[in-house]
Amino acid sequence: MIKDVARSLWALGWMGGGAIAAFVVLLLVAPWVVSPYVVSLFMAMFMYIVVCSSWNIISGFTGYVSFGHVVFWGVGAYVTAVLVWKFNYPWPLAVMLGGVGSAFLATIVSYPILKLTGIYFAISMLALAEAIKILTSHFRSVTGGGGGIYLRPMASLNILYLMMGFLALAVVLVCYSITHTKFGRSLLTIREDETAAESLGINITRRKIQALILSGLFPGIAGGIYVMNVCFIDPATAFDISITVNIILMTTFGGIGTIIGPVLGPVAFTALSEFLWASFPFLHRAILGAILIAMVMGMPNGIMPFMVRFAQWVGIREFFSRRREASQ
């Protein structure tokens, strides 16, 4: 397994390595060049890259479309906030424990919930998110109830931004390398045909559970970083179904089940959504809804096929086809 991962990273080659290096340089330089506003915009974008890529593990690779993925992000945010607020944990530790918390939630729900498939899985994830939202409002003594938790600012924007950026890079690399491992290939087989996967000797229950845990881990950390930045969390924000829909929207737009899709989607949508907020402050949600409708009807496979066609046209086919192979 580790060997496979190492080999896949080696296989990134000069071009991939160069891209990663360029990203890191840009990441480090940006705060000195652009305004704090743009930095927080980037941070939001990285956050969505993290959650979209994570969602893609269980939904894109494994084929279990989750309609409640916000729950992992929200639980991570809450765990971090509560640890800092009630127990005075140092915030970086609290952020990491946010990830542990969401992965723990994924672990306890995984066995029963992954017995369901298709729409039933989607809906029970949705119900899980709503149920946790209400339970969070209910247990006032621990969670601060419906009014939420206010934290005093502890970490600077730039630090949190860097953490989110590196987390995004790490998640994308994890997604990339698991598609090169036996684990990743098992997930793809499960997506295509669960019965066949079982007959090939894949322990499907175990693989699905691992996928869900991995898929729940990173959004928890991202939620923790988020909450340290805005210093406020309440149940309505933490478990907002709109976030789940954004995740699905962005990933589908970028290309579900690919590595690059959950990166392209958030980049495009952060820019778009920023533009819509600025230009149509009262209608931006309706416009996003219309885009969602148009996408389901017009390009169910996301923007990737278009990109590939465009790339072929300009003759850089090699670049894209390698990535697509990696994801298939």
Partner 1 sequence: MFEAWVTVLISGLAMGAIYALVAGGLNLTWGVMNVVNMAHGVFLMLGAYITFMAWSYWGINPLFTIFLSFPILFALGALINRFLVRRTVGLASMLLTFGIFMVIENLAVVGFGGMYRSVRFFTGSYDIMGVFVSKPRIIAAGIAVAMSLLTYWFLKKTKIGVAIRAISLDRMMAEQCGVNTNQICTITFGIGAAQPAVAGSLMSLIFAFNPMLGRVFLVKAFAIVVLGGMGNFLGALIGGLTIGLVEAVIAFSGNLHLSEAAGFIIIILILLLRPSGIMGRRQ
Whichever of 7 and 115 has its CB closer to partner 1, that residue is 115
Please, what is the minimum distance in Å from the beta carbon of residue 124 to partner 1? 5
User: Shortest gap between Cβ of 262 and partner 1 (angstroms)?
Assistant: 16
Strand spans (E) along 184-312? 232-233
Min dist. Cβ of residue 70 to partner 1 (A): 13
Of the two residues 34 and 283, which places its CB atom closer to partner 1 in the complex? 283
Closest CA to 252 of 325, 200, 304, 208: 304
The helix or strand, by DSSP H or E, that contains position 317, with its residue range, turns out to be: helix 317-327
Name which of 177 and 273 has its Cβ closer to partner 1. Answer: 273
Q: How far apart are CA 104 and CA 92, in angstroms?
A: 18
Binding site for partner 1 (CB under 8 A): 65, 67, 112-113, 115-116, 118-120, 122-124, 126-128, 130-131, 134-135, 137-138, 241, 245, 248-249, 252, 282-283, 285-286, 288-293, 296-297, 300
Shorter beta-carbon distance to partner 1: residue 106 or 168: 106
Token duo for residue 240: 């907002």
Which of 190/249 has CB closer to partner 1? Answer: 249
Phi/psi at 281 (nearest 5 deg)?
-60, -30
- Find the shortest distance in angstroms from Cβ 309 to partner 1: 22
Residue with Cβ nearer partner 1 (8 or 273): 273
Closest CA to 209 of 232, 233, 183: 183
Determine contact, residues 43/164, Cβ cutoff 8 Å. yes
Least spacing, CB of residue 202 vs partner 1, in Å? 23
> Per-residue DSSP letters for 55-97?
HIIIIIIS----S-THHHHHHHHHHHHHHHHHH---HHHHHHH
CB of 116 to partner 1, least distance (A): 6
